[in-house]
Amino acid sequence: MEKKVVFSEKAPAALGPYSQAMQVNGMVYTSGQLGFVPGTADLFPTVEEQTHQVFKNLQAVLEAAGTNLDKVVKTMVFLSDINDFAAVNEVYAQYFTGDFPARSCVEVSRLPKDALVEIEVIAIAE
């Protein structure tokens, strides 16, 4: 089994003792991404803005692993308020077309930094 740490300077650094992503046996497993304003520790104020930034961060991490959103096979979406489901879905649909990845979406009691949304993905490495 080959394991490789994936890091992108275009995405926020990990907030703790974990990697942005790991590449193992042809697959990329990302850590959850939050919607930080680039270059700051501040989150965008709305769930839509946070979701767009989450996808920009995911794109950067996947790019560092030599893959992209088209190769995503599974997403896990964590919401601090399930009432944001429709708004997140609207943004989500802008980043995936055609064969949509499998997905889980759950409401959680709280996210790091009081984020409104966190998303992690599993993708095929190219």
Task: Kindly state the helix (H) or strand (E) to which residue 117 belongs, with its residue range.
Answer: strand 117-124
Q: Which of 69, 105, 111, 125 is catalytic?
A: 105
Q: Are 55 and 95 in contact (CB under 8 A)?
A: yes
Packed helices 47-64 and 85-92: angle between N→C axes, nearest 10 degrees: 40
Which residues, including other chains, have CB under 8 Å from residue 35's CB and lie 6 or more apart? 43, 44, 49, 50, 51, 52, 53, 54, 57, 115, 116, 117
Does 19 participate in catalysis according to the annotation?
Answer: no
Active site residues: 105
